[in-house]
Amino acid sequence: MSYYITTPIYYVNGEPHLGHVYTTVAADVLARHMRQRGEDVFFLTGTDEHGEPVAQAAEREGVTPRDLADRNAERFKAVATRVNATNDFFIRTSDPEHHAVVSEIVTRLKAGGHVYEGTYEGFYCPRCADFKTDSELVDGSKCPIHLIELEREKEDNWFFRLSAFQEPLERLYADHPEWVLPSNRYNEALSFIKGGLRDFSLSRARISWGVQIPWDPDQVVYVWVDALFNYYSALAYARQGEDLTDRFWPATVHVIAKDILKFHAVFWPALLMAAEIELPKRVFIHGYLLMDDHKMSKSLGNVLDPFHVMDVYGTDALRYYLLREVAFGQDGSVSPEGFENRYNTELANEYGNLARRVLSMIASYRDGLVPEADPPAELARELAGLVEEVQRCLDRVEVSGALDAIWNRVRALNRFVQESEPWKAAKDPERAGELDAVLLGAAEGLRVVSVLLYPYIPETAVKLLTALGREDRSLDAARFGAAGGGARIGELGQLFPKVEAAEPSTA
């Protein structure tokens, strides 16, 4: 089956930060997991380069929007690589191929009677690229998100008849109660729709940085319309000489945060209906990472800078922390101190030490060969159903739910090793069979959790599976007992080394 997953395309008006990393990593976990399942996966991320957010930032810096976009798009690309994202393509809305698709679609919208000429009068926030109703404003005239003073604008432009989609959208929500997840976000979007939909401007007259309206060269396509169609346009040109649209459209899931719910859960399906394009199957809305926790950490200082974390602790540690600390779908705080806690207690102790311990026992008690034995029934019970549980969670985009389920088994394996005390059996030749079963069970359990952890901590999981002499990381391999004994184990360095406190900065 095909599985097409997207992140938002990020604005190039600023630097990539932890919030962007969060969404990209979560989407990457899903993409990697679905590949493990043998699905035909396409994973898209990229940059949103038009409109006021970028044009104004460029003006402030005294460069052209294109220069700013070129510079920052490179940074976003580099971040995707740095976090080990396995995106199949990186779209930039300044790509000429994307322009062509947007022009064609707005032309089609007009031909279909969904576009009319009108006058917009009201408030507009250039940072959100969003029109604000009077009731949304703070202190009478400020953007509720950016708290900047907005001016009342009046301009003639082209309107999209969103109001005509009130009923079709209500029907979409009634027929597909899980098309927006989690359910609180579904309710929020539905109540926005039920509150009455107003037509919105499909074009802007004031700026020129964007896709020209084909029948009116004085206007450019509203940046959100331009941006949303990236999910569709990318498939047409991501692979040279090949159109992937039939293979991957409609998208399986768009992963976004709650800031852009309205655009994805209301505007987007209406635009697609108008353009007579099939709707994506799901939008998943995650929460915000709250980063204002100023507790001091020994090695990281007081801000969780993702690049610093990756430099000091490695990419896997950051990926793990983000998806473990905050329930995916809810808001939650992240902090350097919280990071260190999870790194030391969970990654280094619960997983890293478990791995080292099991491998060193196999090395010293069984000359480095995983023994042949029947796996212990209690472990088999503990791990039964785990693959299905992880699949069920990830089908519903519960990225941290799946990780919790896996981690519970990491803890169960630790208990198993602790309680079965193989070091005692190793001293008694009569208990050789028992020792074989414990070592085989522990190795097999470690292998199973590592296959399932692969999407979250890919570098570490590959190291561990290699050291276990079992490199198959398909989901079928994640069944307890699938591999059995006989493998020769290899060397495993320290997976999550202790990091000493950073020297106090002398700057």
Contact footprint for ligand ME8 (CB under 6 A): 8-11, 19-20, 22-23, 48, 227-228, 230, 256-257, 259-260, 288-289
Q: Minimum CB separation from ligand ME8 for residue 384, in Å?
A: 35
Nearer to ligand ME8 by C-beta: 29 or 256? Answer: 256
Nearer to ligand ME8 by C-beta: 136 or 434? Answer: 136
Through-space distance between the first and last CA atoms of the chain, rounded to whole angstroms: 55
For residue 120, the cross-strand partners are 155
Residues 9/47, Cβ–Cβ less than 8 Å:
yes
Q: What's at 159, amino acid-wise? A: F
Nearer to ligand ME8 by C-beta: 179 or 288? Answer: 288
Q: What is the dihedral sign for C-alpha 190, 195, 196, 202?
A: negative
Nearer to ligand ME8 by C-beta: 264 or 473? Answer: 264
Q: Minimum CB separation from ligand ME8 for residue 435, in Å?
A: 48
Q: Minimum CB separation from ligand ME8 for residue 53, in Å?
A: 7
Nearer to ligand ME8 by C-beta: 9 or 355? Answer: 9
For the beta carbon of residue 329, count every other beta carbon within 10 angstroms. 22
Residue nearest to ligand ME8 (CB): 19
Nearer to ligand ME8 by C-beta: 52 or 436? Answer: 52
d(CA 502, CA 507) in angstroms, rounded, equals 13
Q: How far, in Å, are 15, 50, 455, 502 from residue 47 at the CA level?
A: 12, 9, 24, 34
Interstrand relation of 115-125 and 152-160 (parallel, antiparallel or unpaired): antiparallel
Supply the DSSP string of 387-403, one letter for each residue. Answer: HHHHHHHHHTT-HHHHH
Q: Catalogue the active-site residues.
A: 17, 20, 125, 128, 143, 146, 295, 298
Short-list 402, 360, 392, CA closest to 490: 360
Scored b (16 or more CB within 10 A) or e, 467-502 reads: bbbbeebebebbebebbbbebebeebeebbeebeee
Nearer to ligand ME8 by C-beta: 100 or 499? Answer: 100
Short-list 182, 143, 113, CA closest to 327: 182
d(CA 457, CA 497) in angstroms, rounded, equals 15
Residues 322/334, Cβ–Cβ less than 8 Å:
yes
Q: Minimum CB separation from ligand ME8 for residue 373, in Å?
A: 47
Residues 287/329, Cβ–Cβ less than 8 Å:
yes
Residue with tokens 């679609």: 105
Q: Minimum CB separation from ligand ME8 for residue 23, in Å?
A: 4
> Using the 8-state DSSP alphabet, how is residue 491 labeled?
-
Q: Minimum CB separation from ligand ME8 for residue 415, in Å?
A: 34
